[in-house]
Structure 1
């Protein structure tokens, strides 16, 4: 069956991995650790998907750059050392294998660091599932199109045959800027109305719903 897309590029946190709440709490704890005002859940959720320094700039834009770097260091400590279980969403592990078997090329574009993504791939056993991955360490932060354009160039896929899947407006705007298609998932960081404002191809309310749509997209 000829699918509507050749290449599916996934965001990681909040799209494949159920890590949104842990990220939010880690941002809040990092701010408290440094004696800074604790951001609301909504404010902390909004910056998920950005590169870490850009995220901290959005949280407290009035602070100097050195403080943003200190916030990033505190966040890393909180994220790694807090005892919380972070797992893939239901259906992701088997679903990605089925997509690969169906002929899709799979990739990841994430605001995580390279070391953070490599650790996540190793812990989930998904290292070999993706033909390539891009992180904020190699590319401009979302919503700049750099990640998607690099992935398309490396794989030889056309943007018009590429779908970006993510849980934030940063993902969907990156897709728009790169000339690819975009699909949103409402179970991650950004609320439904924010995703709708980006006019994606579709919005899905569970990973299994997304999976079913991809398997029958033609």
Structure 2
């Protein structure tokens, strides 16, 4: 598949490559319950996935005294670390990444996870050697700020106009817009198709195999 439009393909992690949305939602809800705070519903909790963890906690339960948010983060991490070993990649992810790497694309990850969290996930999935660069929310500005994409393109010597961001949330697609990159959405993760469509992505995939097919034909 000769490259038509892009040289660098950047993936979000949770809800795009890793089937973790339901687990993250449950952990956010459990953290709020532990602290006797209002428990967000599934949609509210899913909406903040992709943001840096402190930002996500402030967004999901706004208006609390600032002292509560670090405790929310701590309780979330406690619950997540009891569950993350059971998480798996979406079907077709490994084959898609292998195909793209063999075709010579630069591959990267831009995620709301911490560096420690992403490295754990990459190691567990045996994908540490697949990506040319990665950027995490505790290393720079949180999505939808364009910094992650700006830093990745600089690190890899790539042109933003030939960079594609793929993610399951409006935060991912808005980051692409803010950076001047192209965006593709997937609606099997945290945000719905209509929410993603509002940001005019090039395509919205309903599964990893559908995303893989689109990339073969268009990337």
- Whether these two folds match at TM > 0.5 is yes
The residue aligned with 2:14 is: 13
User: Runs of 5+ in structure 1 lacking a partner?
Assistant: none
Q: Does 1:132 align with 2:133?
A: yes
The residue aligned with 1:151 is: 152
The residue aligned with 1:112 is: 113
Question: 2: distance between equivalents of 1:83 and 1:195?
Answer: 26
Query: Deviation digits for residues 75-104 of structure 1, max 9, x if unmatched?
Result: 000111148721000010121011000111
TM-aligned CA deviation for residue 32 of structure 1: 0.3
Question: 2: distance between equivalents of 1:164 and 1:149?
Answer: 12
8 Å contact from structure 1 (residues 102, 215) kept in 2 = no
The residue aligned with 1:85 is: 86
Question: 1: distance between equivalents of 2:83 and 2:150?
Answer: 35
The residue aligned with 2:178 is: 177
Question: 2: distance between equivalents of 1:8 and 1:195?
Answer: 18
Q: Normalising to structure 2: TM-score of the pair?
A: 0.97
Question: 1: distance between equivalents of 2:156 and 2:83?
Answer: 37
> SS of the counterpart of 1:107?
strand
> SS of the counterpart of 2:109?
strand
Q: Normalising to structure 1: TM-score of the pair?
A: 0.98
> SS of the counterpart of 1:133?
strand
- Superposed, 1:1-218 pairs within 5 Å as 1-82=2-83, 85-217=86-218
Query: Deviation digits for residues 139-175 of structure 1, max 9, x if unmatched?
Result: 1000000000000000111110000000000000000
8 Å contact from structure 2 (residues 85, 124) kept in 1 = no
Question: 2: distance between equivalents of 1:11 and 1:103?
Answer: 19
In structure 2, the CA distance between the partners of 1:83 and 1:133, relative to structure 1 (3 Å rule), is closer
8 Å contact from structure 1 (residues 22, 84) kept in 2 = no
Question: 1: distance between equivalents of 2:79 and 2:67?
Answer: 19
Question: 1: distance between equivalents of 2:13 and 2:196?
Answer: 17
> SS of the counterpart of 2:74?
helix
Question: 1: distance between equivalents of 2:188 and 2:174?
Answer: 18
Question: 2: distance between equivalents of 1:167 and 1:104?
Answer: 21
RMSD after superposition: 1.1
TM-aligned CA deviation for residue 2 of structure 1: 3.0
Question: 2: distance between equivalents of 1:82 and 1:167?
Answer: 21
* Number of residue-to-residue matches in the alignment: 218
Query: Deviation digits for residues 8-33 of structure 1, max 9, x if unmatched?
Result: 00000000000000000000000001
Question: 2: distance between equivalents of 1:4 and 1:207?
Answer: 20
Question: 2: distance between equivalents of 1:66 and 1:198?
Answer: 34
